[in-house]
């Protein structure tokens, strides 16, 4: 039944739609670039800005994977172990994101948390791209239709996050950075 649904979805997917795996890989590249920029940043205000963007991008990315991609991949591949590991990795990332959002660049462990988050994400991306994505690509899953679903949900979440005044980082972080920049 699942493969019949996937096959019929494949036939109805719009031409020109971005494939789900391509969309997720593009997110991976963007976030890695943000982590690279964070490592090179010198000012607290730049680090805060990058951390805000990293956190927003990762929250959106994990949401679309958990809400749409992982359930579809689970149905298409029956690889529960790999998907369970991915879910645990997401939870670890979410815990660090929360700590980053609650802190500020002036905190002793704040930059270390961003760096460790980057290392977690790098490991997670490597597993997804070398193990999960090839399994999904070889399944009957309609990746173009799934990509469209991911894109629509991503746009919706990005609008929600960008609409929030703090961009996902606490007002405390913004005050601390502002105070720190005035004292320089």
3-state secondary structure 91-141: HHHHHHHHHHHHCCCCCCCHHHHHHHHHHHHHHHHHHHHHHHHHHHHCCCC
Which tens digit of pLDDT belongs to each residue from 116-163?
999 999 999 999 999 999 999 999 999 999 999 999 999 999 999 888
Q: What is the pLDDT of residue 11?
A: 37
Which tens digit of pLDDT belongs to each residue from 11-47?
334 456 689 999 999 999 999 999 999 999 999 999 9
Instruction: Report whether pLDDT(177) > 90.
Output: no
Nearest alpha-carbon partner for 159 in 17, 84, 63: 63
DSSP-derived 3-state class of residue 11: helix
Which tens digit of pLDDT belongs to each residue from 37-94?
999 999 999 999 999 999 999 999 999 999 999 999 999 998 899 999 999 999 999 9
Q: What is the pLDDT of residue 7?
A: 38
Q: What is the pLDDT of residue 140?
A: 94
- The Cα 103–Cα 92 span in angstroms is 17
Q: What is the pLDDT of residue 83?
A: 95
Q: What is the pLDDT of residue 15?
A: 52
Q: What is the pLDDT of residue 164?
A: 75
Instruction: Report whether pLDDT(6) > 80.
Output: no
Instruction: Report whether pLDDT(165) > 50.
Output: no
Residue 131 and residue 82 in contact, taking contact as beta carbons nearer than 8 Å: yes
């Amino acid at each position: 039944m699942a493969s019949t649904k996937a096959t019929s979805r494949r036939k109805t997917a719009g031409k020109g739609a971005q494939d789900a795996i391509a969309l997720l890989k593009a997110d991976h590249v963007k976030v890695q670039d943000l982590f690279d920029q964070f490592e090179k940043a010198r000012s607290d205000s730049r680090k805060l800005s990058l951390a805000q963007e990293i956190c927003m991008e990762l929250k959106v990315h994990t949401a679309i994977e958990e809400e749409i991609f992982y359930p579809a991949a689970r149905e298409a591949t029956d690889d529960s172990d790999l998907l369970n590991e991915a879910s645990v990795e997401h939870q670890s990332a979410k815990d660090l994101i929360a700590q980053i959002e609650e802190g500020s660049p002036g905190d002793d462990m704040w930059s270390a948390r961003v760096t460790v988050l980057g290392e977690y994400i790098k490991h997670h991306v490597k597993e997804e791209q070398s193990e999960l994505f090839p399994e999904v690509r070889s399944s009957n899953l309609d990746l173009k239709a799934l990509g469209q679903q991911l894109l629509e949900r991503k746009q919706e979440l990005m609008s929600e996050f960008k609409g929030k005044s703090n961009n996902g980082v606490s007002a405390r972080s913004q005050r601390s950075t502002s105070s720190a920049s005035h004292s320089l």
